[in-house]
Amino acid sequence: MNTIETIKDGKNYTAVTVGKLNEIKDYVLPLGEIEIPGKVFAGQALHATGSELSFQTLVPGQDSGFLHTHKTHEELYFILKGEGEYQVDGDIFPISEGSIIRVAPEGKRALKNTGKGELLMLCIQYKANSFVESDSPVSDGNILNEPLKW
């Protein structure tokens, strides 16, 4: 069973590792009286202050097991490996490596591995509608005029 390891923790950052992506399948998530294989949450280890995130591996034929919605969080699903189907509110569409799905809080969502190998996804949630028009990556970022040393 894998566990998240902290690389380094500083005043303004936390760095962790979940290990090689093809070993995510070896994680086991305890959830009350059951265990979910192939899934790991990382938000707490990272001390994230506005997101939660998880990696999950689905074996061929496996799906999410249930539909779910959210109260106030938008989710992004990144398909990092494999092939499958995604559904929101009954709409079903194919997804594969490089697909990204954004789901609003009220969307009824689930995912299925329809391929022959493992499906690996990264899911991130954060407050929906928390950006305003001025929140472009350009306007929020400050490029510093000081030397970059290694």
3-state secondary structure of 89: coil
For tokens 């709409």, name the residue. 91
Between residue 34 and residue 73, which ones bind its own copies under the rule CB under 8 A? 41-43, 46-54, 63-73
Residue 76 CB, shortest distance to its own copies, in Å, is 7
What CA–CA distance (Å, rounded) separates 117 from 131? 37
Question: Binding-site residue total for its own copies (CB under 8 A)?
Answer: 87
- Residue ranges in 112-141 that form contacts with its own copies under rule CB under 8 A: 112, 122, 124-131, 135-137, 139-141
Nearer to its own copies, 37 or 144 (CB): 144
Query: And the tokens for 77?
Result: 């699903």
Bridging pattern class, strands 83-88 and 109-113: antiparallel
- At closest approach, how far in Å is the CB of 59 from its own copies? 16
In whole angstroms, the minimum distance from the beta carbon of 31 to its own copies comes to 9
SS3 call for 135? coil
> Minimum Å distance from CB 28 to its own copies?
17
Give which of 107, 31, 100, 111 is closest to 63, Cα–Cα: 111
| Residue 116 beta carbon to its own copies: minimum distance, rounded to whole angstroms | 17
Please report whether residue 6 would count as binding its own copies according to CB under 8 A.
no
CB 41 within 8 A of CB 115: no
Which one among 27, 62, 101, 119 touches its own copies, defined by CB under 8 A?
101
Amino acid at 111: L
